[in-house]
Amino acid sequence: MPDMSDRLFFVIGAPRSGTTLLMRMLNMHPDIYTRPEPHLMTPLAHLGYYAYPEKAAFDPFQSHQGVRNFVADLPNGEEDYLDALRAYSDTLYGRMLEPTGRRYFLDKTPAYALVLPFLKKLYPNAVFVVLTRHPFAIFSSYAKSFFDDDWPAAEAFNPVVQRYVPAIAEFLADPPERFHHVQYEDLVADPEKHLRAICAAADIPYTDDLIEYGDKEVEGEGLGDPIGVSKHKRPTTASVHKWARNVAGNDERIAQLTAMVQRLDDADLERFGTPRDALFTPLEDVSAEAAHKAQSQAKKWDRYAVERRALLVLRRNIHDNALGRTLKKVRFYCDVLLRE
């Protein structure tokens, strides 16, 4: 079994914070191999010892108690449990990496930001690169990308700002040894400077090829930004204050953003890179004409956008309408027919 203790490279960031862009740039490095969002670590963090799923095909409370009691009687306790988890992930990461001959496997899965204490405990010698972005830019892009710009629906489904800012800020307060933090706005403004710092943290040489990420595709199928990052071949600052143009003069959205950060801790916002008193500053530079133009632009109708809109329409009142009732019946009969 390969030892992956110092051969993993984690890019950490909230959804829509630019992690796909950074992954694409680092994918250009001859020492790094990556694939789209493996999602290996989040299930491991919820097997019962550290946390457990609220809904599963077993009683999570009994599983939690059982595994805690079992691990307590192992010769080395929690360390033996971590060794077992590491054996699983080392096998998968290692066997994916080994045929490539590369030094690092890079895992970019945004949900890992919500299990960082576990991840740091499991792989303390891994390289951790944290990418943060203006919280309002994150949410605006999230709502636009996944909810057809329906802000209330996006926040009701997943309050990304309230979940990710505290989790990442806690990690930034006590980072591991092999670590680098960069803000998206700084990365796209001066990519060479920050890519050099990232390479230094990983003890690998910097190459100018990293900036021209459009020259190489990421191998494998998976999740991630299927549209935005492919529009360009190198980093651009075009999206830095796009959120501000979509918010300026819109009282409903300003009120939603204000409420969104109301309960966030000042220290967390500071560590994340956007102090509370600077959150709305970009709005001051947006002209009424630019705001009107941005907010009145026609919606795009590429395949990805059409799929998202169709899903949003179909999911509306899905538990109370005829379509939902029909799908529940179909699922019931499928479960009966396919049961082993």
Digit-coded pLDDT (tens) for 224-267: 665 565 677 788 888 898 999 999 999 999 999 999 999 999 99
231 with 335, same domain? no
Nearby residues of 285 by Cβ (< 8 Å), 6 or more positions away: 241, 244
Note the pLDDT tens digit of each residue in 139-192: 999 999 888 889 999 999 999 999 999 999 999 999 999 999 999 999 999 999
187 with 271, same domain? yes
In a domain, 2, yes or no: no
In a domain, 38, yes or no: yes
Banded model confidence at residue 194, pLDDT cuts 50, 70, 90: very high
The share of the chain scoring above pLDDT 90, in percent, equals: 63
202 with 339, same domain? no
**Number of domains composing the chain:** 2
Nearby residues of 307 by Cβ (< 8 Å), 6 or more positions away: none
Query: What span, in angstroms and rounded, lies between the C-alpha atoms of 241 and 100?
Result: 39
Banded model confidence at residue 304, pLDDT cuts 50, 70, 90: low
78 with 200, same domain? yes
260: domain range?
8-297
Question: Can you give the pLDDT at residue 128?
Answer: 98
Banded model confidence at residue 12, pLDDT cuts 50, 70, 90: very high
Task: Report the predicted TM-score, pTM, of the whole model to 2 decimal places.
Answer: 0.86
Calculate the alpha carbon distances from 134 to 61, 70, 152, 186 in Å: 38, 44, 19, 11
62 with 107, same domain? yes
CATH number at residue 277: 3.40.50.300
Banded model confidence at residue 319, pLDDT cuts 50, 70, 90: confident
As a whole number, mean pLDDT of residues 20-36 equals 94
190 with 331, same domain? no
In a domain, 14, yes or no: yes
Among 75, 51, 48, smallest CA distance to 64 is for 48
200 with 163, same domain? yes
